Every structure is written in structure tokens, then in C-alpha cells.
A and B are shown apart, each in its own frame.
Chain A
Amino acid sequence: MATQTQSQFNAMLKKVYGWYTGGFLIFIVVLAILEQFGLPRNWIGYIFLLATVGLYAGIGIMSRTADVAEYYVAGRRVPALFNGMATGADWMSAASFIGMAGTLYLTGYGGLAFIMGWTGGYVLVALLIAPYLRKFGQFTIPDFLGARYGGNTARFVGICCAILCSFTYVVAQIYGVGLITTRLTGVAFELGIFLGLGGILVCSFLGGMRAVTWTQVAQYIVLIVAYMIPVVWLSVKHTGFPIPQLVYGQVLQKVTERENQLIEDPKEKEVRAIFAARAKAAQENLKGLPGSFEAERGKLIKALEDLKGTGAPASEIAAAQSALDKFPKSVDEARAFWTREAGLAARANPPLRHAEAFPGATEKAREVSRKNFLALIFCLMVGTAALPHILMRYYTTPSVKEARDSVAWTLFFIFLLYFTAPALAVLAKFDVYTLVVGTEFAKLPAWVASWSKVDPALLSVVDVNRDGIVQLAEISIGGDIVVLATPEIAGLPYVISGLVAAGGLAAALSTADGLLLTIANALSHDLYYKMIDPHASTQRRVTLSKILLLVVALAAAYVASQKPADILFLVSAAFSFAAAAFFPALVLGVFWKRATKWGAILGMLAGIGITVYYMVMTQPWLRRVFDVKTPLADAIWWDIQPISAAIFGVPLGFAVIIVVSLLTPAPSRDVQELVDHVRYPHLRGDIDTTGT
């Protein structure tokens, strides 16, 4: 392969992946035909799991390598188009694939913060970071920090921050892998995690960045096909037009009309009033604990005896008996039960208007909602431009020019999925609002029953006011179901459901691979080779990286199997950490020659410090973990949610770097030359920083 020119290599790649895509489509069609001939559903699940993971493993084995440049940066010859696809897969995690449309379904306009934040960040990557990192041309982000900011202190801070944000992120991915494996095959969650882990490791373990890159291209193709087919189908069903992105505006208008009806509908109001009453009663009982436990129990016993005494019909007595049986057995159980009941207050609210920006009852509430919407976009964008596992990918292109093109391709491939998700959310909502709401309970579509059986947290429909008709307020829906159930909502064969699960798995696996590699490289390359033993042989470095990868993967799997409280929060926290730690130092490192070593070190520490501090003080789960006593109202600054903590960290990071840099002596001539070196793709008599 070494004698191959770049253009031959490029042509070969196009041929291979062209055949691969064709083969994959034929595979789906064959399975669909087999399904018609009676292939059982769980077999389809197994076949999808084995075929796709086997495929990724095959690519991993074919690309195995022990060469340093191949292992860390895929030999620096990944063409822009393919690096774009690989970065797209690397980028789109289980949260994007499964969670995003669901978030949009549940939060309407507010969810668009994720759509804009996770795409607009690439503008910052393209304009401020990617081409310069490629010119610098080593292996990791700490490499750049170490070279630009004079040595190991900056490098070490970089290593710690890279591990902090990548590890929080990878735990969430492995959790997602476990969830999907469980869905596809029905094995226990813990086993699912370790099965999925096998799929992750065959790639990154054997072939490092090289195997991960070529697998990610394959995974991108699986996930984009899996996402598109059901949405297009659903669009044909509701609009008669196969490009949902162009026409769902009409559907959105119909959804808005329907919302207006549902907000005013007397039956809906009745159900909401029932929830409000139940929540209020539970609130009072909670306050009255422990006495209220005995009192409420006594009431039920008395009611039962009264019925028995007056000779009421058997059905009423049975109902009263079952109410007593279901009543909590102890004060603690009662507290848990009433806390859940009090949570029903949320369902007493009228449905959210999907298209309305910053909904809120008062001017103040709308103002807070707007502020948080914009702050979240900011954090997600800046976080995107600072996540080490994404930035690292731009080291793998053959040139600065290709690095620039590659960001454009990356965003294009991400765009394909992200501009579809809002359409899917609206189409699914239309389906639920018109075909489920208002039907009789006896005539519910089959998918409702089958999904409520899978997991009541995903979907439950209960006849609260006992009129036999489904009201919107009676439906409780979990976000993830929107993508997972779309094939069934659209009336597609089960093969497509398997395909969607395989797509979700591809999304989670590819991201996990990229993240694990980042962590292992930070430890083996930056910490061990650059700081502890600079004379280590290349063989030793790659071997060490592989061992570390295994250790980190197992540690992450262990944490994920503990089901940490708030997985979505972990993902968003990773973005805020990355944004506050890296973005100011990276950008000023290129655009401001005067930025000095101590400026950068203190800036990174201040940025990440305040971000972590704010999260600990305001995020409910972290407040419990660290036993924070300050009342939440005092800890919160300008009503900003903890998810957007980097809104404080990033500006502080910039300010500290600038102030401290101006107080310390200007960087040496070598560093200034390095900055010139990264600014120009080619200079006559240039220094060479390419890592080997």
C-alpha cells in the first residue's frame, strides 16, 4: 500500500465503500423478504447485531497495525470526504441518533438549541482550529498545548482536562450501547454492556485510529440509512411527499391547530384537573408524614368495611380491596409513592405549543427561558470546537487544504441527520395527536400496546378519567421512543426496526471508539512518552496504548453498569468541560502570539474550575454527591441552568489568559516561530513539527 499514490488510494476507497453500501442495502432487502416468509423477529435482531458488529470487527482486523503514525493518526492520508464521514460518525452519538428527535418532540422550539449548538460549533472548528492543528501535525491536543505553551505543565493540565471530558462522555456512550444491545437481543443490561464493549474493542484495540476511521465510515453509512428510511416513509404517509424536510411546515401548522383544540378541550381539562388534584393531595400527605401514612391507610380500611357493611356490589368491594393492597406498606414506601404522585403536577399543565419560542406564563419566565436557550447554544457550540476526540480527527488528513475541506464534509454529513430530526419530531407528534388521541382504548394502534409492554417509562397510556377515549394528557411518553418506534408508527416491517436499532448501535459504538482512543492516547503518548520516558520505542508506545485502552474501556463499562444517576447530564457536562478548558487556550494560542505559558495554564484551570464549581453547586445530583448545603436559589447565577456552566468558564478563561499573559514576559522566539508555522500552510525554510 505504501507505493500507492493518494489519488489511487482515494479511488480505491470510493469503490470499496460503494460496493459496501450496495451490499448493505441488498442485505436489508433479503432480510425483508425472509421476514415475509416467516423469519422470527428475535432472529432478525440477532442477525443485525452479529452482521454489523462482525463487519466492524472485520474492518478492525483488516486494518490492524503497530505503526505509530498509522495507530495514532491513520497514516495521515484519510481523504477529506472520508474523514468527514468518519468524524460525522464519531460525532453523532447515541444521544444524537436516538435522543435528539425525542428531545425535540418533548420540548419543541427549546430542543432546537441542540440542533444549532451541535452543528454551529463546526464553524468555530473550521475557522479557528482545524487547519492550524493540521499544520502543527502531531497527535493529540495536549501535544499542541505542550509545544505552544512551553512544556509539560500545560501539557499535563491538558491531559487531565482531556481525560475528564472524554471519560464522562464515554460512560454515557457505553450505557447507550448496553441499552441497545439489550433491546436487540433481550440479554441482561450488564451483559449487554460487555457484549457491546467487545464490539468497541475489536476496532480500536487492534488498529487504533486507522481501524477506527475505516470502521466509522462504515458506521456512518449504516446510521444514516437507518435514520432516513422510516422518516421518508412517515412523510409519504402524512404528506404524500418523500422529502419530509421540505414539507413538514404544513404538518407543523396542523399540529399547532390541534394543540389549540387540545388546550381548550373540556375532556383534556378534566384529566389535567385530576392530575392536579392527585399531585396536591400527595403534597399535603408528604408534609403530614409520618402521621398521614396511618391516616390515609385508615381511610382505605374504613371505606372497605363500610362497603362490606352496606352490602355493596362485589366489584366495588374488590376495587376497594385492591386499593388497600396497592397502598404503600411503610412510611418510606409512602414517601416514595407520594413523591412520584407529586411529580404528576407536570402532567397537569396544558400541552406545550411545539412551534412557540420561549414559552412561559409570565414575562420573567419567558426571559429566563430565552437566556438559557442562548446560553446552551453557546456552550454546545464552543464545546464542539474543543472536544479532543473531534479535533484529533483533523490530524488525520493529508494536508491543511484537505483539513479545511474535511470540516465542510463533516458538517454536511452531520447536517443530513440533524435537519431530519426536527421533521421526524413533528411528524411523530402529528401521528400521536391525530391517530392516538381521541381514539377508543379498545382500538389503539398495535405499536402503542407493544411498546407499553417493553417499558412503561417509554410509553404508558392510562384511562385516567375512565371515559374510554384517549386524551393527550393520559399519554406519558419517553423521548427515546420517537426514533425507536417510528418504523412501527409508519407501519414498516420489523426489519426496519432492527435496522434502526443497528443504526443506534453504530452511532454509540463509533463515538465510544473515538473517545477511548483519545483517553488511551492522552495517557500513553502524552503522559508516558512525552513526560515520563521520552526514549520509549515506538513498539512499546503502541503496546502501552492498547493496554491502557483495555483498562479505560473496562473502567468506563464498570461505571456505566452502575447506571449513574443522570446520563444526559453527563453528556452535556462533557461539552461544558471541554469548552471551558480548551477553547480559550487553543484559539489564543493561534491568534495571539503574546499568550504566554502561565496565562494559558492559569486560564485553563480557572475556566474548568469555575465550570465544575458551578455545576457542583447547582446540579441536583452533584449537590447530593458533594452534600452542598447552600440553598439552590443562592447558588444559581442569573438563572443559568447547570448544563450551561461553561457560559461562565469560557469568558473567565479568556480573561485570565489575557491578563496573566500581559503581566508575564512575552513568549520566546521559538514559540513565536511556532505560531507563524501553524498560521501558514507552507513557508520557505519552515520548521517541522510533524510527529513521528
Chain B
Amino acid sequence: MELTARHREYWQKNVRLTIVLLAIWFAVTYVIGFFAREIFSFNFFGWPFAFWVGAQGALVVYVLIIWFYARYMNRLDQEYGVAEGED
């Protein structure tokens, strides 16, 4: 089982995407959480913004991150010929 350059490229793309998505996850959770008092306490349709993010916004972003990752990777599998059921 020798890995080709294409295989390595697939893995690099995966790792890069993982890092980007984790950065978004980190920003939504910890950056907004950390500055909840100082910066993100403005009114957002009735909620203080940080409260809304904690109760809904962050959750929506998490679902989107996972959904996007699944879609992107499932396509990447096809593109690089590493999807299941291929030879």
C-alpha cells in the first residue's frame, strides 16, 4: 500500500479544512465568550448578543460546520478516488 502524491494532497486538504473549521468553532465559542461583557453585550433583537450566540447562534454555526465538512469531504473522496465502493 504505497501512497501517491495525490493521496497526500487529499490528506493535506482535509487537514487544512479541519484547521479552518476549528478556527471558526474557536472564534464563535471562546472569542465571543471571552468578550461577552466588554464587546458583545449590544442588543440583538432583544437578546444581548453574547447571550443569543450562546443560546442559539453558536449552535447553528456548529451544525453548519459539521454539515459543510461532511459535504465537502464526501465530494473530496469522489474527486480523489478514495470513496468507498471504488477500485
Q: Which A residues are closer than 8 A to B by beta carbons?
A: 109, 112, 115-116, 119-120, 122-123, 126-128, 131, 245, 248-253, 355-358, 366, 370, 373-374, 377, 381, 399-401, 404-405, 407-408, 411-412, 415, 418-419, 422-423, 591, 673, 676-677, 679-687
Q: In whole angstroms, how far apart are the Cα atoms of A116 and B58 in the complex?
A: 7
Give which listed residue, B51, B59, B69, B82, contacts A415 with CB less than 8 A.
B59
Q: In whole angstroms, how far apart are the Cα atoms of A677 and B16 in the complex?
A: 19
> Which residues of B36-87 have CB atoms within 8 Å of chain A's CB atoms?
36-37, 41, 44-48, 50-52, 54-56, 58-60, 62-63, 65-67, 69-70, 73-74, 77, 82-87
Contacts of B50 in A (CB 8 A): 109, 357
7 new A-B contacts, CB < 8 A, other than A408-B63, A422-B54, are A356-B48, A358-B37, A370-B34, A374-B30, A381-B29, A404-B73, A422-B56
Q: Is the CB of A355 within 8 A of B85?
A: no
Q: With A127-B21, A357-B41 in contact, do A682 and B83 touch (Cβ < 8 Å)? A: yes
Q: In whole angstroms, how far apart are the Cα atoms of A411 and B63 in the complex?
A: 6
B3: interface (CB < 8 Å): yes
Q: In whole angstroms, how far apart are the Cα atoms of A418 and B14 in the complex?
A: 29
Contacts of B85 in A (CB 8 A): 682
Majority secondary structure of chain B interface residues (helix, strand, loop or mixed):
helix
How far does the Cβ of B27 sit from chain A's closest Cβ, in whole Å?
A: 12
Majority secondary structure of chain A interface residues (helix, strand, loop or mixed):
helix
Q: In whole angstroms, how far apart are the Cα atoms of A357 and B36 in the complex?
A: 6
Q: Is the CB of A112 within 8 A of B55?
A: yes
Q: Is the CB of A116 within 8 A of B1?
A: no
Q: With A245-B56, A400-B84 in contact, do A676 and B3 touch (Cβ < 8 Å)? A: yes
Contacts of A677 in B (CB 8 A): 1
Q: In whole angstroms, how far apart are the Cα atoms of A112 and B70 in the complex?
A: 27
Interface size class of B (residues with CB under 8 A): 35 or more
Which 5 residue pairs are nearest across A and B when measured between Cβ atoms? A249-B46, A112-B54, A357-B36, A404-B70, A422-B55
Q: With A245-B56, A357-B41, A686-B1 in contact, do A374 and B7 touch (Cβ < 8 Å)? A: no
Q: Which B residues are closer than 8 A to A by beta carbons?
A: 1, 3, 7, 10-11, 14-15, 18, 21-22, 25, 29-30, 33-34, 36-37, 41, 44-48, 50-52, 54-56, 58-60, 62-63, 65-67, 69-70, 73-74, 77, 82-87
The residue on B at minimum CB distance from A422 is: B55
Contacts of B56 in A (CB 8 A): 245, 419, 422
Contacts of A404 in B (CB 8 A): 69-70, 73-74
Contacts of A370 in B (CB 8 A): 34, 36-37
- Could you give 20 example pairs across A and B, Cβ below 8 Å? A112-B54, A116-B29, A116-B58, A116-B59, A122-B66, A123-B62, A245-B56, A248-B46, A355-B51, A358-B37, A377-B29, A377-B33, A401-B70, A401-B77, A401-B84, A412-B63, A419-B55, A681-B77, A682-B82, A683-B1
Q: Is the CB of B47 within 8 A of A249?
A: yes
Give which listed residue, A119, A253, A401, contacts B59 with CB less than 8 A.
A119
Q: In whole angstroms, how far apart are the Cα atoms of A194 and B67 in the complex?
A: 41
Give which listed residue, A109, A401, A411, A412, contacts B54 with CB less than 8 A.
A109
How far does the Cβ of A393 sit from chain B's closest Cβ, in whole Å?
A: 15
How far does the Cβ of A414 sit from chain B's closest Cβ, in whole Å?
A: 9
